[in-house]
Amino acid sequence: MPELAYLNGEIMPIDEARVPIEDRGYQFADAVYEYLASYNGRLFALEAHLDRLEHSLGALAFPALDRNHIRNAILTLHKRAAIARSGIYLQISRGVAPRNHPFPVQAAPQIVMTVRQLHPTPPEYLRDGIRAITVTDSRWSRCDIKTVQLLPNVMAKQRALEAGAQDAIFVSPDGVVREGTASNLFIHAGGRLHTHPLTPAILAGITRAVLIDSCRKQAITVEERFFDLHELMAADEVVLTGTVTEVLPVTQIDGQAIGNGRPGPAAEMLRTQLEALAAGP
Amino acid sequence: MPELAYLNGEIMPIDEARVPIEDRGYQFADAVYEYLASYNGRLFALEAHLDRLEHSLGALAFPALDRNHIRNAILTLHKRAAIARSGIYLQISRGVAPRNHPFPVQAAPQIVMTVRQLHPTPPEYLRDGIRAITVTDSRWSRCDIKTVQLLPNVMAKQRALEAGAQDAIFVSPDGVVREGTASNLFIHAGGRLHTHPLTPAILAGITRAVLIDSCRKQAITVEERFFDLHELMAADEVVLTGTVTEVLPVTQIDGQAIGNGRPGPAAEMLRTQLEALAAGP
């Protein structure tokens, strides 16, 4: 069960994979990525990740890439690693060229991946929920494009850890609750689930989408609408969702208990749904 | 006069310099940079660039770096290249570690440089001025930190080229004129120079600073204040300044002539000042 890298068609140990310093991903953050997880050796929502990848590439006017080629590369690396519960990181940059802002005339997109063991969520996070802080959203205005411009996420996550919390929640300067540093956010309030609508201000999370779809199939209402910091703090439950996060209850925000301060039934319901989906048909 | 790269102490041809794919500069844009120019074999404003580098590193809580070490590395590479008119690109990332948002516990900042011939501004740009377009500023809220999160700059510059212009000017969603994609912006209006004040919304350009300082020494007023798109379009002159840009008149914006549509005396005055400073004492 080796952890491996993929570099433009070649598979190798991760610490041997290197890119030129003039890769535009390195000098301009001119690169997009996806992160996929496998359950019991099966990749979850592969086509949805490929759809989103195509959205990101298109939004940045990358040259068209062969979806079959990328899918095959992912599947090949995944198979070679043979890790039952793995995380595949896939990054595509615009290419390598002498540093200059405009798109290079001749440059082939660079495709880089890693596959690693994906460690389970600490059981106490599920049992007790996590603590979060809120931070003012300082990110650029196109968070729907999954680029490697993750420095605000890095800084927010680090600030959360230094504050004794596990994650940070981005709130717009005028108070709209956006999402976590690597997850979407749902609240349960007034007997319903609510989450930020799909706009350029948040990532269209795959886990978010499959959970909304699954809820609606069971006639569980999910309202996609804006809500503010006040509604967040007053919610009965707050839940983060994402490929790595899965479904995680947030029981304390900025030092204040959410609801009764314990994980609640909405988080449990969402987690059960995700587990059923991950187990496959 | 070779073009060279520097990689953590080693000097080599640029196309041989490679970094691990898990360099945080590549996966998180967790890296800062500087760009220095030499005139007649002498680096311009080296200490000012080192000051700004320290500001960037400090703002992102990078571990303290030895300023003398970095200065010596720059000077060594510059000397080795022996290019009279060179551009030195210096990038420092937080280090290499398995992908995870928080700061890695054990990771040494990676120092990467290139030195290249710096090509002169096309003479027609100075003679006729350049055309620019305005774009809504989509960047993150800490543009005072010189990070590699340059994708909005890349997209704006590319849009300018595709529109038959040479550069783009960032304007905030509420109409405040910020700066160019790799330059600061001055207008000349009402007999005075005006430029955006130093806030987190723009980069504290070295060329901007030395020109303001030089003007003030000669009792030429420069007002650092906000101005909007309307004032920009109504200005007598618009000028971009930067290490590579130097002093560049903008004579057309969004298809409309600025002033009389020709480079004016303010641009010429600023250019003369910069040339005098670059020539040295």
Inspect the interface and report whether the beta carbons of A89 and B99 lie closer than 8 Å: yes
* C-alpha to C-alpha distance for A29 and A57, rounded to whole angstroms: 13
Strands (E) located in chain B: 4-7, 10-13, 18-20, 31-39, 42-43, 86-93, 110-117, 130-136, 167-171, 177-180, 184-189, 192-195, 222-224, 237-242, 246-253, 256-257
| pLDDT value of position A280 | 83
* C-alpha to C-alpha distance for A178 and A158, rounded to whole angstroms: 18
**Cβ-count burial A243-274 (b if 16+ within 10 Å, e if not):** bebbbbbbbbbeeeebbeeebbebbebbbebb
Instruction: Determine which of A19, A60, A147, A154 to mutate to test the interface with B (most B C-beta atoms within 10 Å).
Output: A154
| pLDDT value of position B1 | 66
**Cβ-count burial A142-154 (b if 16+ within 10 Å, e if not):** bbbbbbbbbbbbb
Domain B123-279: CATH architecture, name and number where available: Alpha-Beta Barrel (3.20)
> pLDDT truncated to tens, each residue of chain A (281 aa)?
689 999 999 999 999 999 999 999 999 999 999 999 999 999 999 999 999 999 999 999 999 899 999 999 999 999 999 999 999 999 999 999 999 999 999 889 999 999 999 999 999 999 999 999 999 999 999 999 999 999 999 999 999 999 999 999 999 999 999 999 999 999 999 999 999 999 999 999 999 999 999 999 999 999 999 999 999 999 999 999 999 999 999 999 999 999 999 999 999 999 999 999 999 87
Q: How many CB pairs under 8 A join A and B?
A: 148
A-chain residues within 8 Å CB-CB of B112?
Answer: 21
* C-alpha to C-alpha distance for A26 and B151, rounded to whole angstroms: 11
| pLDDT value of position A1 | 65
Dihedral sign of CA atoms B218, B219, B224, B230 in order: negative
B-chain residues within 8 Å CB-CB of A182?
Answer: 101
Inspect the interface and report whether the beta carbons of A181 and B17 lie closer than 8 Å: no
DSSP A119: P
Residue A18's closest chain B neighbor by CA?
A: B20
Instruction: Determine which of A6, A21, A137 to mutate to test the interface with B (most B C-beta atoms within 10 Å).
Output: A21
Question: Residue A87 pairs with which residues in a beta bridge?
Answer: A37, A116
Q: Do domains A4-117 and A123-279 have the same CATH topology?
A: no
Inspect the interface and report whether the beta carbons of A21 and B27 lie closer than 8 Å: no
CA distance A208 to chain B (A): 20
Inspect the interface and report whether the beta carbons of B28 and A102 lie closer than 8 Å: no
3-state class of B129 per DSSP?
coil
Inspect the interface and report whether the beta carbons of B28 and A153 lie closer than 8 Å: yes
* C-alpha to C-alpha distance for B177 and B224, rounded to whole angstroms: 12
Residue A104's closest chain B neighbor by CA?
A: B158
Q: ipTM strictly over 0.90?
A: yes
| pLDDT value of position B281 | 72
Question: What is the fold, at CATH topology level, of the domain defined by A4-117?
Answer: D-amino Acid Aminotransferase; Chain A, domain 1 (3.30.470)
A-chain residues within 8 Å CB-CB of B153?
Answer: 28, 101
Q: Cα B238 from chain centroid?
A: 17
* C-alpha to C-alpha distance for B2 and B117, rounded to whole angstroms: 9
3-state class of B62 per DSSP?
coil
Residue A142's closest chain B neighbor by CA?
A: B138
**Of the partner residues B17, B101, B155, the one whose CB lies closest to the CB of residue A20:** B17
Residue A159's closest chain B neighbor by CA?
A: B102
Look up the pTM and report it. 0.97
Q: What is the CA radius of gyration of chain A?
A: 19
Q: Which helix (H) or strand (E) holds A23?
A: none
* C-alpha to C-alpha distance for A258 and B148, rounded to whole angstroms: 37
Dihedral pair phi/psi, residue B14, rounded to 5°: -60, -40
Inspect the interface and report whether the beta carbons of A19 and B21 lie closer than 8 Å: yes
Inspect the interface and report whether the beta carbons of B154 and A102 lie closer than 8 Å: yes
3-state class of B96 per DSSP?
strand
Dihedral pair phi/psi, residue A63, rounded to 5°: -60, 150
CA of B70: how far to CAs of A35, A201, B51, B59, in Å?
36, 38, 12, 18
CA distance A246 to chain B (A): 16
Inspect the interface and report whether the beta carbons of A102 and B26 lie closer than 8 Å: no
Going from N- to C-terminal start, the domains of chain A cover 4-117, 123-279
Active site residues of A: 146
The residues of chain B scoring below 70 in pLDDT are 1
* C-alpha to C-alpha distance for A31 and A247, rounded to whole angstroms: 27
B-chain residues within 8 Å CB-CB of A143?
Answer: none
CA distance B55 to chain A (A): 16
